[in-house]
Amino acid sequence: MKIKSTKQFWWRLNYLKRNGGEITVTDRTSEMDVKDFNRIESLVRKRVRWELGSEGMAAWDACGYKDIPTLAKAYRIK
Instruction: Walk along the chain (78 residues) and give the pLDDT tens digit of each residue.
Output: 778 888 998 998 888 888 888 777 776 666 667 888 899 999 999 999 999 998 998 898 888 888 888 889 999 988
Is the overall model pTM greater than 0.75, yes or no?
no
The letter for the amino acid at 11 is W
Q: Are 48 and 71 in contact (CB under 8 A)?
A: yes
Cα separation, 28 vs 72, whole angstroms? 23
Looking at residue 42, what is its pLDDT? 93
If one counts every other C-beta atom within 10 angstroms of the C-beta of residue 60, the result is: 14
Looking at residue 22, what is its pLDDT? 79
